[in-house]
Chain A
Amino acid sequence: EVQLVESGGGLVQPGGSLRLSCAASGFTFSTYWMSWVRQAPGRGLEWVANINQDGNEFYVDSVKGRFTISRDNAKNSLFLQMNSLRVEDTAVYYCAREYTGWGFDYWGQGTLVTVSS
């Protein structure tokens, strides 16, 4: 059974940093693109970043230079290092698997990041 379990969310002040983790199981993690997708409270979905099997990274413009996506294929883990956090980064952050040609076929339960003073 495919499982994605996020952790690392919490309350942080504006300008602060946070590192999210996603533990993957039930599939060959190293062969899939992986993404982070966020959802601000009461709002829609926003794709944040993704990373391919070889470690190539892509970002939405609003987080470029502040967020870094990475992966550890040996530990079946995905990460999102978030620096210089802003109030508008407040959201539930989901880890999602990308199935080539389909879309995001598996999602974690999400972890809440709150940026507030």
Chain B
Amino acid sequence: EIVLTQSPATLSLSPGERATLSCRASQSVGSYLAWYQQKPGQAPGLLIYDASNRATGIPARFSGSGSGTDFTLTISSLEPEDFAVYYCQQRANWPPYTFGQGTKLEIK
């Protein structure tokens, strides 16, 4: 089973700042990595697929990069609605699909 480790666990930033979230895989997942956003009381929503492709309707301030074992989700300039929990997920080697433990992006 591929283990995904996200860092940091919590990121405290202010609106307008740049956010950089990390996801590291225990073995290569190629580019088969997705990112999801989850707000309190809501289901997750797909942001990025295949490491760097924005899903339909996702604003350009969200970008993903990386391949192999190291991945990054960047939010270029934080909007108030971006404060949420973010999860990475791999589909390279399944079952099972696996998720990272999440990074909570909170308002500083």
Determine the chain A residues whose CB is within 8 A of the CB of B96 once the complex forms. 47, 58-61
User: Which residues of chain A come closer than 8 Å to B53, judged between CB atoms?
Assistant: 102
Residue B34, interface by CB 8 Å: yes
**Contacting pair A107 B44 (CB below 8 A):** yes
Please indicate the chain B residues that have their CB under 8 angstroms from the CB of A59 in the complex. Answer: 95-96
A74-117 residues with Cβ-Cβ distance < 8 A to B are 94, 101-105, 107-110
A11 / chain B contacts, CB cutoff of 8 Å: none
Interface size on A, residues (CB 8 A): 20
Q: Which of B75-89 contact A (CB under 8 A)?
A: 87, 89
A108 and B43 in contact, given A44-B87, A47-B99, A102-B55 (Cβ under 8 angstroms): yes
Number of residue pairs A-B, CB distance < 8 angstroms: 61
A107 contacts B49, CB within 8 Å? no
In the docked arrangement, what's the CA distance between A44 and B44, Å? 11
Give 9 A-B contacts (CB < 8 Å), ordered by A residue: A45-B102, A46-B99, A47-B94, A47-B95, A102-B46, A102-B53, A104-B34, A107-B43, A110-B43
Indicate if the CB atoms of B102 and A44 lie closer than 8 Å: yes
Could you say which residues of chain A place their CB within 8 Å of the CB of B100? 44
* Closest Cβ–Cβ distance, residue A104 to chain B (whole Å): 6
Chain B, residues 27-71, CB within 8 Å of chain A (1/0): the string is 000000010101000011110011001011000000000000000
Could you tell me the distance in whole angstroms from the C-beta of B21 to the nearest C-beta in chain A?
14
Question: How far apart sit A47 and B95, CA to CA, in the bound complex (Å)?
Answer: 9
Residues of B within 8 A of A104 (CB): 34, 36, 44, 46, 89
Q: Which residue in A58, A60, A94, A103 is a CB contact (below 8 Å) of B43?
A: A94
Whether B98 and A47, one on each chain, are in contact in the complex, defined by CB atoms closer than 8 angstroms, is yes
Let me know if A47 and B34 touch, CB within 8 A. Answer: no
Chain A contacts with B in 19-71, Cβ cutoff 8 A: 35, 44-47, 50, 58-61
